[in-house]
Amino acid sequence: MKKILTLFAVAGLMAFSSCSNDDDVDNDTIPEVFQVRGVSFTPQNDYNPIIDLNPSIFPGDMILVYRQDGTDGGAPVWKMAPELYYFANGTLNFGYNFNFTVNDVSIYMDGNDLATVDNQYKLNQTFRIVIIPGYVTGAAKSVNKADYSDYNAVIAKYGIDDSKVKELKVK
C-alpha cells in the first residue's frame, strides 16, 4: 500500500512540476476593445489616419476593426472593415480598410475619387478596435468561432466587457 501511495505522490509531483508557461505565448492577456473618436479621412493624412496601440500588442494577436454606422434604438450599429460602398452600376465608389502592426492600426479609405465622397463618410468617424490574443485565435479554428462580422457576437464570444472600452487617439 505504501508503494502505491508513493507512486501516486511521485506521479502527481511530476505532473505539477512539468507545467510551465515559458513558451512565449501570452496566455495572461485578455481580449479587449479600444475606441477612437473623431477620425477624419482627409488629403492631409492621405485618407489614412494612424492609431497608436498603447500598449503594443503581441505578434500573434489579431485585430478586428468596426466603424459606427449610426444607432438603432440608442445602441450603436457597428460595421466590420473592410466595408465597401458601390455605385449603382456596381463599380466601387469607396471603402474603409485597415492594416496593423504590433504598434499601430492604419485605417484607410480606398476609392476612385475620395475627394468627392460625402463628408458624412470622411469626417468625425468612430471606430472600435478589438484585440484578440493569438492564443485565442489559434483555438478559434473550431466550429464555434465567433461571427467576426457581428461586433456584439465577438464581444460575447470573447467575454469582453463593452462598458470598459478604452479610448485611443489618432496620431
Tens-place pLDDT, residues 18-53: 444 444 444 556 789 999 999 999 999 999 999 999
Q: What 8-state DSSP symbol labels residue 106?
A: E
| Sequence-separated (6 or more) residues with CB below 8 Å from residue 70 | 76, 77
What local confidence, expressed as pLDDT, does residue 28 receive? 52
Interatomic CA distance for residues 141 and 157, integer angstroms: 13
| Closest residue by Cα to residue 49 from 130, 132, 126, 117 | 126
**pLDDT tens-digit map of 130-164:** 999 887 655 545 566 778 999 999 999 989 988 88
Task: Give CA–CA dist 155/131, Å, rounded.
Answer: 11
pTM of the model: 0.79
